[in-house]
Amino acid sequence: MANNKQFTLDIKKFIKETTAKITFIRKKVAFDVFVRVINRTPVDQGYARGGWQCSLAAASTRSTKVKDTAAGMNPMSIASGPTVEKMALKVTKLSMRYPSIFLSNNVPYIDMLEDGLYSKESTTGKTINGFSSQAPSGMVKVTLEEFPYLFAVDAREGAGI
């Protein structure tokens, strides 16, 4: 009987530790992916970068008029503006109760920034062959290409390896 009790306690401890590790990894991956997308977003007036919204359970469908003109396009930097700060607060709430997290942007021209749909004949110098000169390969696509590496690094860190 004592062995059964100990086994049950060991299993409960394992579940608690594993759940904590999984939650840590999920938060770290979400933060690392989202900060890269946000920081790669071109800044002209700041609405595209300020338009990123992090939400739990479902993607946001609302538009925002938030401006984020934080300097720098370094996707590795976490020292960004208010959009990264708001996102980081939301990521901390990711849990088993709120298992899904979304990053969405509803500014009308976000697809143009991502997919290079601007006119090929720019006279402003802000675009090159239809793409923003600040993000000529987009923001999301580039970050998703990095995802396997980010996940592997964050998983190792979360597992304590």
Torsion sign, CA atoms 75, 101, 145, 18: positive
Residue 52, strand partner residues: 105
Range 28-42 average pLDDT? 92
pLDDT tens sequence across 138-151: 999 999 999 999 99
- Segment 25-45 mean pLDDT: 91
DSSP code at position 102: E
Q: Tell me the pLDDT tens digit for each residue of 65-88.
A: 888 887 655 555 555 688 988 999
Per the structure, the count of domains in the chain is: 1
Token pair of 44 as six digits: 């002209």
Chain CA centroid to CA 137, Å = 17
Query: 42, 134, 123, 31: which is closest to 84 by C-alpha?
Result: 31
Nearest to 140 by CA among 59, 38, 43, 70: 38
Contact in structure between 41 and 140 (CB atoms under 8 Å): no
Nearest to 45 by CA among 126, 140, 158, 157: 126
**Which pLDDT score, from 0 to 100, does residue 1 have?**
57
CA distance 88 to 141: 21
pLDDT above 70 as % of the chain = 88
Evaluate if residue 121 carries a pLDDT over 80. no
**In the predicted model, is pLDDT for residue 106 greater than 90?**
yes
DSSP state of 74: -
If you average pLDDT over residues 128-155, what whole number do you get?
Answer: 89
Write down the pTM of the prediction. Answer: 0.84
Question: Domain of 14?
Answer: 2-159
* Residue the block writes with tokens 């601007």: 118
